[in-house]
Chains A and B, each alone.
Chain A
């Protein structure tokens, strides 16, 4: 029987007028198509922001006295602002939930789609609208506030318009981030409702795959924290256009209040970025180890407790702002409690490798790379949670290296690994293993040689956001090492994107349902999935990572949710 629902979601499935070419994507409420659209847009922005990052590193090759200038001082602030705004708001915050969450979450829990498919499409449109507004705004006006928008600088500074005349690009950018926030909130609500209401028969909470668990935890943060930053950013816009004085001390305001509001969102937001990637690693590792994940429940609970504790530690970004010493001490103390569930997760992944049967697929390489990078990111976080060391290291290159280890080496490596893992399922095409592994090698080596020197620079007092720096051997040498690392990483990113594009254009076609032999539900359906995901109603009878039962099912040909004849 050939119904629309049993065709691949990639093929033309209805005869409505929205059905031609790109429109059939841009108007589609199918969670799979929306996920892929997010993927294309996000990775285009990622490529752009990587280029800006490489420029910044090139500038750092030359100390102040050399006379060389890649980015002049008046453009340097705008360059790192654009790099950060794109990377954070357009790439890593939508991140894994937007691409793989959209695509895989309904498949993982045996649903036909998310709970509100139209709202899901609206989220994507809001994302596109906000993204265009942010980039156009910054490009026209060279906004240079940094992604933290710290007042009073962000209130007083007049951005330099590239085409002459007055153009308030900072207000544009803030409004854009506000709009992006709406998209995020709607996605969060959508996922929470989907997880609560749309699970297949037998899919109890503790039978959900861990990626779904991590999306669930991250979604709550998105829903509860994003409104706070949205309001704070609008308050800055209001201050820029009217003499209001929420944060401007000359009008009786308090600039530190903004930092509290900003970090109340932006600290939990780092868990929006990292949790879903942890979830992906928790999928990739058991699959490529062919054994159950070690401590399933404690990983699921750790995700939720990271999300919970993540709310209570925002002011550890503010130990040098002069807030009360009592507050500093309390926030430092609480900060260390987020380290514990994080450590538990790392040990659980390691224990999963014990007595496993490991295949080093590209996805697995990125997952193991994630564990290494994220361990460095997490451990260097200890230096910043501890009070006296933070006073010294705050606002230096040490912090820059630390958060790149968590955000890039962690969150982005996890996402990239996840895409390698799910690529054949999503597109029905296979990439070149050789190219994929090469992209990992270059990215891993390049990433580490770029950011390890920055820890040393930070310890020796190199402040961040410096267009130039004093000519000292210790600074010069480590800056040079870091810049050379950035070139290796750059090659890795080019290899990565080329591998994907080549696979999409001319990759080997595959309809193999389960190329990595995974036990979770999303693999037990057609490749690429059909429009309605599962042709028959699915019933879940076992734990998601029960590989022993899974192998028996494969032998008998009855694995859960299997829809192929």
Chain B
């Protein structure tokens, strides 16, 4: 848990922030002070005869020019930080970010995939380039401690992805939020950025891949549930999340709603397949109809169904 400033953008952003803040505070104190002064000095009792002042051209020119100069400074300082945020260094390390309702996935060059619970692990003092891909609606990749935010926008085929980058200067764990409203579990679409020292990162990078390959070999279905984000809404231990739990699901009798009509079904392979490919068709009663269709191959669907069967034995 940490929102302390920790990236190369912080100095620029915070300088602009505090510059504007101090100028604003001076203005606000002047405005408030003048109002209070006037109420006391020029109230009806103290000043029964008002002056007949209509205007003063000199004064009006001054208070047009001074704010103009100040806001141009605000623009300039904001621009400087922004240009830095938009110019990605050549040698940056690329990690692909995928977002969906309501999960994150981070994919590394060697095929290593990390989910929301595992977080985004990066080396310290290294620029990290993040192409941002959404599988459904607009999300927003936001790490307050790094002053980084960019919307993750679903794009039509062939369009360029949004991107952002950062370079953290401090080892630690930082909050990663979804900042664009994306429905029911928007507030749970959280993850972490783990900044490791360069040697720790190298060690982690190799070992995490080994762990991933092992678990894929053991149960490819289980690995898919994690990497495709299913576990954000479906538990494997019987606890009720947004969707039904996988535990004991296979062979269970369920009341489902199809187009407003309720009927009972037995969960079998065909039903599971349909629920994955066309999630909006039959909705288990008392659950919201919100599961997005996921781009899975037929093999992957079978692997997931196999795993769900295992969980029901």
Contact = CB atoms under 8 A, between A and B. Distances in A.
Interface of A: 64, 73-74, 77, 144, 146, 150, 152-153, 156-158, 160, 164-166, 249-250, 252-256, 289-292, 294-298, 320-322, 325, 328-329, 332-333, 336-337, 339-340, 343-344, 346-348, 350-351, 353-360, 368, 371-372, 375-376, 379-380, 382-383, 385-392, 394-396, 459-461, 463-470, 472, 474, 547-548
A167 to B, nearest CB: 10
Interface string B289-304: 1101000000000000
A53 to B, nearest CB: 17
A339 B67 contact: yes
B3 A347 contact: no
Contact of B149 (A166, A346, A392, A472): A392
Interface stretch (B52-60, B217-225, B305-313): B52-60
A357 B67 contact: no
A357 B185 contact: no
B93 interface: no
A321 B153 contact: yes
Given A358-B39, A392-B13, A336 B75 contact: yes
Contact of B137 (A156, A375, A395): A156
B16 A322 contact: no
B180 interface: yes
Nearest to A545: B54
B172 interface: no
A281 to B, nearest CB: 12
Given A340-B64, A470-B1, A158 B280 contact: yes
Given A336-B75, A340-B68, A372-B31, A380 B3 contact: no
Q: Counting chain B CB atoms within 10 Å of each CB, which of A73, A298, A380, A459 scores highest?
A: A73
A358 B42 contact: yes
Contacts of B183: 77, 144, 153, 157
Given A328-B82, A350-B35, A152 B17 contact: no
Contacts of B184: 73-74, 77, 144
Interface string B64-93: 100110011011011111101110000000
Contact of A382 (B43, B74, B260, B289): B74
A295 B55 contact: yes
Contact of A294 (B54, B259, B260): B54
B63 A395 contact: no
B42 A356 contact: yes
Contacts of A380: 24
A357 B49 contact: yes
Interface string B162-197: 110000000000010111111111111010000000
A249 B133 CA distance: 12
A455 B51 CA distance: 40
Contacts of A372: 28, 31-32, 35
A360 B39 contact: yes
A260 to B, nearest CB: 13
Given A391-B150, A461-B142, 5 more contacts: A325-B86, A339-B71, A357-B43, A386-B20, A395-B142
Contacts of A332: 75, 78-79, 82
Contact of B24 (A346, A351, A371, A379): A379
Nearest to B260: A165
A464 B55 CA distance: 43
Given A357-B43, A386-B78, A152 B260 contact: no
Contacts of B48: 357
B204 interface: no
A73 B179 contact: no
B286 to A, nearest CB: 11
Contacts of B28: 372, 375-376, 379
A336 B64 CA distance: 13
B38 A358 contact: yes
Interface residues of B, number: 91
B182 to A, nearest CB: 6
Contact of B3 (A339, A359, A472): A472
19 contacts: A144-B183, A153-B181, A156-B136, A160-B289, A252-B157, A294-B54, A340-B68, A356-B50, A357-B43, A379-B24, A388-B79, A388-B80, A388-B84, A388-B147, A389-B13, A394-B149, A460-B144, A465-B186, A468-B187
Contact of A353 (B3, B34, B44, B136): B34
Contacts of B175: 461, 470
B103 interface: no
B155 interface: yes
B75 A386 contact: yes
A463 B52 contact: no
B50 A547 contact: yes
Contacts of B68: 340
Given A321-B153, A461-B142, A153 B47 contact: no
Contact of B71 (A150, A252, A355, A382): A382
B13 A294 contact: no
A320 B20 CA distance: 20
Given A383-B17, A460-B144, A470-B175, A296 B54 contact: yes
Nearest to B52: A548
A392 B147 contact: yes
A351 B58 CA distance: 13
A388 B3 contact: no
Contacts of A77: 181, 183-184, 186
